[in-house]
Amino acid sequence: MYIYSVTKYNPDTRGKIDEWIDMSCIGDTYDGIVFTLEEYLRVEANYIEAIERMMDDLGVKTLTVSYLERRFHDYAYHPSSRRAFNALYPIRMRDMRKKMKTGNVLSRRHIPNILRLMLRNGLYAELEHKAEGSDEAYMFKVFIGYDYMMGVHSAVDLSSLQDELRELAIYLED
Q: Which residue type, as a one-letter code, is found at position 9?
A: Y
* Burial status of residue 40 (CB atoms within 10 A of its CB: 0-12, 13-18, 19 or more): buried
Asked whether 64 and 128 are in contact (CB, 8 A), the reply is yes
Residue among 132, 66, 61, 125 nearest 97 (CA): 125
Asked whether 6 and 170 are in contact (CB, 8 A), the reply is yes
Res 11: pLDDT: 93
Residue 128 belongs to what H/E stretch? strand 123-129
Give the tens place of pLDDT for each residue, 142-170: 999 888 999 999 999 999 999 999 999 99
Residue among 4, 14, 8 nearest 39 (CA): 8
Give the tens place of pLDDT for each residue, 109-146: 999 999 999 998 888 999 999 987 776 788 999 999 88
Give the tens place of pLDDT for each residue, 57-114: 999 999 999 999 987 566 666 677 888 888 888 888 888 888 999 999 999 999 999 9
Say what the pTM is: 0.91
